[in-house]
Structure 1
Amino acid sequence: MVDVRSAEQHPLLEAALGARGNLGHARVEVVEEARSLVVEVPGAGDDPDHDDHEHDGEAGDPAGGGLRGNGHGALESGGSPSPSPRYARAVQRRIFIGDIQGCREELERLLEEIRFDPAADRLEPVGDLVNRGPDSAGCLRLLASLDAGGVLGNHDLALLATARGTRPERKSDTFGDVLRGEDRVELLGWLASRPFVRPFEDLVLVHGGFSPAWKDPIAVLLAEDPNDPGPAASAAVTIRFCDPEGNLARGMDPAPPPYRPWHELFDRTRVGGRTVVFGHWARQGLLLKPGFRGLDSGCVWGGKLTGWIAEEDRIVQVDARRAYAGI
């Protein structure tokens, strides 16, 4: 079990905070870069989906249609796109990857199938990089070595909370290889520098989704701290069904009226007409509809690991080697 102490006293967290110079400084750089991309819009258990509340008690509930991106940095009609993220190298393809959850072998096979080119391609995982699968540490090492982007998911937050001592390690957790690895400081530092939302000029990446109650979802989530997540962060990594006011239907899938899938209630003009790329919903599975790409296809449950190549609007999948978590 991981030592339970305050965040200030926990040696593993303190070390991670100092990794790669200063983790706080690294996060400021991520946030400040992403802030420059915001388009201001006026006004306007055993179940594959039983992981909604991996950080229950940390936060509560928060108080479709539109334009479609063409994958090349422009909107097909209307709108005024903001600058793309400033990559350190030329990027020809952005490859968004569904929930990996420690399935390193499947991730490697998917990259082979996609013919991933580290010199020209950029990986953007949808979050839930760790837990339930057999090799959480291997996934983080591989993604960090490939300079992946991506966002945080609820299982990633569970790992960070366990490392800082605010959540006990559970029997069902499979990220002990990260917590006890020789390179744990570097791995935790890299993971904690992921944001909750990553906007591009034509797309926006989030793990679970956006509350229909948020006027400016990108700004809301850029203000959230991975080491001290609040209600908005909790909603962004756990939302599936909600009502028009943004109240979540916790533990219900499917949920009765007035609850509906969040993407049926969300107005994409609030993210500048961008296509929303997300994961977190294995029971729903792969979702491809105008303005939305849902990429969780339940790899850890014996399903598939999905990649979406944005510039080609193309799906590539590999089968899970086996089910790592029981249904």
Structure 2
Amino acid sequence: MSTYVIGDIQGCCDALLRLLDLCRFDPAADRLICAGDLVARGPDSLGTLRLVHGLGNAATAVLGNHDLHLLALAQGIGKARDGLDAVVEADDADVLLDWLASRPLALHHLATDTLIIHAGLAPQWTVTQVVALAAEAQAVFADRRRRRAFLPHMYGNEPARWRDDLGGDARIRFIVNCLTRARYCTALGKFEFSEKGRPGRQADDLLPWFAAPDRRSAGTPIVFGHWSTLGQIEWPRHRVWGLDTGCVWGGPLTALRLEDRALIQVPCSG
């Protein structure tokens, strides 16, 4: 049995099919974890959702920012773009969106002691806290009533720093922003959610989230996506693997096999 984590697919369904074929993925024995952003920008978000959903218990995903935008769009929040209207208007939209909304925001793969997220972590969080806080947010999205109530308040960059006493929408917003949008923070854990460039171009006081001093999750390997300008990284110093290799922008689609840390890639087009 092998476990494959795949970086941002973003509607590139054909590349996903070719990558699964290259991995010799067997849904009867293997497991697939998508590192968020299954949809948006690429040519076939609907096909991607149907494919991953159709694998049943053999596949899951952590939620990414574009996945959450799709959930908001289905509720009439924001503008349709990148073919997401095809998902909202599909006959099986309710099934697919409920499945998507019930995905975790963080997943701890116990067999390899690996944490899978879409974007970043607050330096104050332990892995145990990450799993618990992600479950708090997941419970909001998985419940249709609570999802409808929260989504109009999801967008925004504040609060920018974690506090244990955060409550209400502000608490869930920070958890969501950190796990699905974060790239840079200060040494004290204040996030700049609008900063998107590769390291070396950011403001002097900002660090990649995984390089924050005294990060309490530093002892656990972490796999993430989201950061296409960073690209594929294997940084043993920080024990992190970045898998967003920008397939939708012409780069490869990348999988990491957790059991032996092998990387497998296919080009964006066959």
TM-score by length of 2: 0.80
The answer to whether the aligner puts 1:245 opposite 2:188 as a matched pair is yes
Structure 2 SS opposite 1:251: coil
- Flag structure 2 segments of 5+ consecutive residues without an equivalent: 142-146, 151-171
Structure 2 SS opposite 1:312: coil
Q: How far, CA to CA, are the matches of 2:190 and 2:93 in structure 1?
A: 36
The answer to whether the aligner puts 1:192 opposite 2:101 as a matched pair is yes
- 1:115 is displaced (CA, Å) by 0.7
Q: Residues 124 and 216 of structure 2 are in contact (CA less than 8 Å); yes or no, is this contact kept in structure 1? A: no
- 1:169 is displaced (CA, Å) by 2.3
Amino acid in structure 1 at the alignment position of 2:193: R
C-alpha deviations, 1:96-122, integer Å up to 9, x for none?
000000000000000011111111110
Aligned counterpart for 1:139 among listed residues 25, 37, 48: 48
Q: How far, CA to CA, are the matches of 1:222 and 1:243 in structure 2?
A: 26
Structure 2 SS opposite 1:141: helix
- 1:269 is displaced (CA, Å) by 4.6
Q: Residues 268 and 274 of structure 1 are in contact (CA less than 8 Å); yes or no, is this contact kept in structure 2? A: no
Q: How far, CA to CA, are the matches of 1:236 and 1:96 in structure 2?
A: 16
Q: Structure 1 residues 260 and 93, CA, compared in 2 at 3 Å: closer, same or farther?
A: same
Identity rate of aligned residues, in percent? 41
Structure 2 SS opposite 1:149: strand
Counterpart of 1:279 in structure 2 is 225
Structure number with greater CO (CA < 8 Å, separation at least 6) is 1
Rg comparison, structure with higher value = 1
- 1:278 is displaced (CA, Å) by 0.4
Counterpart of 2:136 in structure 1 is 223
Q: Residues 125 and 215 of structure 2 are in contact (CA less than 8 Å); yes or no, is this contact kept in structure 1? A: no
Q: How far, CA to CA, are the matches of 1:314 and 1:217 in structure 2?
A: 25
Q: Residues 99 and 295 of structure 1 are in contact (CA less than 8 Å); yes or no, is this contact kept in structure 2? A: yes
- 1:268 is displaced (CA, Å) by 6.0
TM-score by length of 1: 0.66
Q: How far, CA to CA, are the matches of 2:174 and 2:259 in structure 1?
A: 33
Q: Residues 119 and 181 of structure 2 are in contact (CA less than 8 Å); yes or no, is this contact kept in structure 1? A: yes
- Flag structure 1 segments of 5+ consecutive residues without an equivalent: 1-91, 323-327
Counterpart of 2:240 in structure 1 is 292
Runs (4 or more) in structure 1 with deviation over 6 Å come to: none
Counterpart of 2:162 in structure 1 is none
| Cα RMSD for the two superposed structures | 1.7
Amino acid in structure 1 at the alignment position of 2:65: N
Amino acid in structure 2 at the alignment position of 1:238: R
Structure 1 SS opposite 2:175: helix
